[in-house]
Amino acid sequence: MPRPSASPGRTGRPPLTSRAQILAAARRLIDRDGWEKLTIRRLAAELGIGTTTLYHHIRDKEDLLVLLLNHYVEQRERPDLPGHPRDRVVVAATALHDALAGWPWAAEVLTADGFVGRLDESALWMVEAVLAGAIDHGCTPAQAVDVFRSIWYYTVGEILVRAHSAHRGTGGRPLPSFGDLDPARVPHLAAIGDEWPALAARDTYPQGLRAFVDGLLAQATSPAPPEEGSGAWNGR
Amino acid sequence: MPRPSASPGRTGRPPLTSRAQILAAARRLIDRDGWEKLTIRRLAAELGIGTTTLYHHIRDKEDLLVLLLNHYVEQRERPDLPGHPRDRVVVAATALHDALAGWPWAAEVLTADGFVGRLDESALWMVEAVLAGAIDHGCTPAQAVDVFRSIWYYTVGEILVRAHSAHRGTGGRPLPSFGDLDPARVPHLAAIGDEWPALAARDTYPQGLRAFVDGLLAQATSPAPPEEGSGAWNGR
DNA sequence: CCGACTTTTCGAACATGTTCCGAAAGTAGC
DNA sequence: GCTACTTTCGGAACATGTTCGAAAAGTCGG
């Protein structure tokens, strides 16, 4: 294994370990033992170095995970975007969602401060496409940012809540967020009856997304100023 | 301190510690040392018991936090709900958001499987109000559940992303989600310029919520079947 | 009063992410 | 070659949530 050639003007002991090696070792470890087994100590052992040394190449575990995430997103196929702006927003947001939903460490990373900014070009196109769709629909850039942020919150929430159910062994009983909520405790659910479990566990991300996009685009391009209290409800 | 009287038909060593005492000790600890200092070991020490003992009265730290959360929500004022169904949904969802946004351990608890089901009556009214508003607007109970779930995801996402920024000392630079995203990396943001930091950090939860509620209610009560691919975009 | 059973209690230990501080191993200037 | 200086390396340690296994302290049926 050839050690990386020292760059010119560089001082100090040359590293025996590179970020590329770390990434490769991480992937090896995941493929062999499963993603739950990826821990700082194990990764260091896999590299044959001490844990502290590993911390000289990555800032955090979060840092490592973002590295892995970008690598993972890179090898995903890019869907081609529809021409209609509204549909483009929906498709791009769905792509973003799907890419992250399959990611085991979503919960550890998604809420990170500045997460969106740490995405590679391979993932950033989805953000761009959402913004572009909103702008093409008639939004100002500032409004497009607001649109993206709202969609981002919705997406993060969905992924995190579902991811949590997946992590804990809820053995065949996927009940995100509602969980054991007894419909009898909520008067307005009393009429539902046996269908409750299936109803509580439905996957409605795509449906909700379309409703959200419609609402956001309508709000942004409606004549009424969206700054403070839009429409019928002005303040409380 | 009188030990709790043994209930009839009960066997085994009577407990020296009750859940009420645990909750009181937790509150004492938080008031004295700040909420970041609430740890299992410290709480056990505050109670004068071993950490393992504490685990016989609470299942998890999550369990403890839900206990605290319900206690916290209980002493919040209930806003009175407007008559218009759509506005009722917005106000109730906002109340839910505001109650949870001020909660330091939101990130540890909100995504928990079955979280909504573990809420006390003091918090459950907000869920009910959202459902009731949707139903009064013309939704079926099943649709109302979908509406709530979507709003829940959006709310959880917003709170978690913002909470993360608050936890880490981002000292006066609150940049939720977008963080250090360089607008130059995203072509459609190039025109923005100096206003970017302020733009990236805007608080648009209420605005986005109104757009979302409008979109969801419109979708649920529109003539087109919302089950699969609504409107112009039917599948990919 | 005695033995079986149940519940509570707890010290020790484990795995985790992370930090402290010192040692090793190079480069740069002389 | 020698002396600074910079960078990498790593063992030990810390705090965290959580679990193990055993001991203590009650209740209940006889």
> Using DSSP, how many helices (H) and how many strands (E) does chain A show?
10, 0
Residue B77 lies in a domain: yes
* Domain harbouring B210, CATH code: 1.10.357.10
Do the Cβ atoms of B233 and A199 come within 8 Å? no
What ranges in A18-120 are assigned the alpha helix state H? 19-33, 40-47, 51-54, 61-74, 85-101, 106-109
Give a yes or no: residue B226 inside a domain. no
Closest nucleotide to the alpha carbon of B50, via C1':
C10
CA geometry: angle A65, A68, A69, nearest 5 deg: 85
The per-residue pLDDT for range A159-211, each reduced to its tens digit, is 999 877 766 654 444 556 776 788 888 999 988 888 888 898 899 999 999 99
Please state the domain count of chain B.
1
- Comparing CA positions, the residue from A125, A46, A26 lying closest to residue A81 is A125
pLDDT number for residue B193:
83
For residue B220, the chain A residue with the least C-alpha distance is A211
Q: Is residue A54 part of a domain?
A: no
> Cβ contacts (< 8 Å) between A199 and chain B: which residues?
142, 145
Residue nearest to nucleotide C6 (CA to C1'): B12
Chain A: closest CA distance from residue B133 (Å): 10
pLDDT < 50 regions, chain A: 1-6, 170-173, 228-236
Angle made by CA atoms A219, A203, B226, in degrees to the nearest 5 = 55
Q: Considering the domain boundaries, does residue A140 fall inside one?
A: yes
- Helix, strand, or coil (residue A185): helix
Best A147, A188, A202 member to test B by mutation, with max B CBs in 10 Å, is A188
pLDDT at residue number B11 = 76
Amino acid at A214: D
Is A25 within the bounds of a domain? no
Global confidence as pTM? 0.90
- Look at residue A182 and tell me if it is in a domain: yes
Half-sphere CA count of B125, side-chain side, radius 13 A: 15
Euclidean distance between CA atoms A206 and B159, whole angstroms = 21
Helix or strand run (H / E) with residue B93: helix B85-101
How many Cβ pairs closer than 8 A exist between chain A and B?
266
Q: Which domain holds residue B174?
A: 59-221
Chain segment A141-155, per-residue pLDDT in tens? 999 999 999 999 999
In a domain, A142, yes or no: yes
| Contacting residues of A for B215, CB less than 8 Å apart | 210-216, 218
Low-confidence ranges of chain B (pLDDT < 70): 1-9, 12, 165-176, 179, 223-236
Crossing angle for the helix pair B205-221 and A141-167, to the nearest 10 degrees? 80
B165 vs A113, A163, A191: nearest CB: A113
Cα separation, B236 vs B234, in Å, equals 7
Any CB–CB contact under 8 A between B236 and chain A?
A: yes
